[in-house]
Amino acid sequence: MRALPRAFALFGRERDGRGLPHGNDQTRGIIFLLLSVFVFTLMDATAKYLGQFYSPAQVVWARYMGNLAVVLIFYRARFLPSLRSRQPMFQLVRALCQLASVSLFFTAIQYIGIAEATAIMDMNPVLITLGAALFLGESVGWRRIAGIVAAMIGAMIIIRPGFGVFHPASILTLIGAFTYAGGALLTRVVRTDSLATSLIWTVVVGSIASSLVVPFFWQAIEVQHLWAFFLIGLFGAVSQALLIHAFSLAEAGAIAPFGYTGLVWAALWGWLFWGVLPDRWTVIGASIIVAAGLYIWYRESRLANGQSRG
């Protein structure tokens, strides 16, 4: 991992005089991440629905194969040329990290609620921020750390350790948070590759790996579930493209906390689709998380406009 800071320095995008992305890029990165999180939670809700009828391996396979179909239709003649990468090994590891994250999460939500699983998984912004400082050379001011800690407190309020969330499946989401963070950091490293290259690598690696595993868990797909299999692939393709673009625009540590907004959407889908109403602790925790994210956005906007770091 020592090579990561050097690779990042050599292949980074243009920065301003203080070594930070330009203010517009930072703000755009935040917006794209918020959109990505929204679509990701729709994919997760679809996966939880399908998990009632099919194994996690088959749901993961459906996610990637649907992804592959959408990408093939969209890129057509550009698909194979876009596979050329300046850093293929980083792309391979990044794609495997993302496959592991999806697989672990989809397995976990068969046993625990989608809001609880999302809350545990959303430890990854802390891991991304720390990883960005350790491996990518990004600075982490104390105010940013304070915002992330506040968001973590909000997540813990939602999880409420000792009150039933810590099913053994929660360990899978914890591991998934580490693999997600690794994939996000590597997305920053390979950002000189085009959006198409990173997206196609993710889809191809995930499709091949899941296709090798799914025959051991296969069961016939019912006609009434075809719509869900289609949607999970579509949501996966759109959310992945938005995520890659977000991390290509802004510092990993600056936009990572906004991943916590997925908690709000997960709670909403749990209520709409499964009749599980968020309790007052969920509302309190979600409010803290959103407030922390907005505070960090405000701080990053000031820094991008040339004001001093506190």
Contact 47, 232 (CB under 8 A): yes
Angstrom distances, CA of residue 252 to CA of 43, 52, 69, 129, 171 = 23, 35, 29, 7, 25
Q: Residue 308: is its pLDDT beyond 50?
A: no
Q: Residue 4: is its pLDDT beyond 70?
A: no
Q: Residue 60: is its pLDDT beyond 90?
A: yes
**226 part of a folded domain:** yes
**118 part of a folded domain:** yes
pTM above the 0.85 mark? Answer: no
Which residue range forms the structural domain that includes residue 81?
21-304
Model confidence over 188-231: pLDDT tens digits? 888 888 878 988 999 999 999 999 999 999 999 999 999 999 89
Q: Which amino acid is at 100?
A: A
Q: What is the pLDDT of residue 14?
A: 38
d(CA 102, CA 80): 25
State the first-to-last Cα distance of the chain, in angstroms, to the nearest integer: 29
**153 part of a folded domain:** yes
Listed ranges 23-27, 69-73, 129-133, 279-283; the one with the highest mean pLDDT: 69-73
Percent of the chain with pLDDT strictly greater than 70 = 81
Burial-class residue 227 by CB neighbours within 10 Å (0-12, 13-18, 19+).
exposed
**174 part of a folded domain:** yes
- To the nearest whole number, what is the mean pLDDT of the chain? 80
d(CA 268, CA 279): 11
d(CA 123, CA 140): 17
Q: Which amino acid is at 27?
A: T
Domain count, the chain: 1
Contact 252, 4 (CB under 8 A): no
Q: What is the pLDDT of residue 94?
A: 94
**260 part of a folded domain:** yes
**15 part of a folded domain:** no
**293 part of a folded domain:** yes
Model confidence over 151-200: pLDDT tens digits? 778 777 777 766 655 567 777 887 898 898 898 888 888 888 887 898 89
Model confidence over 238-297: pLDDT tens digits? 887 888 788 778 776 677 678 778 888 998 898 899 887 777 777 787 788 777 777 766
Model confidence over 113-139: pLDDT tens digits? 888 788 778 777 667 777 777 777 767
Q: Residue 59: is its pLDDT beyond 50?
A: yes
Q: What is the pLDDT of residue 166?
A: 55
**210 part of a folded domain:** yes
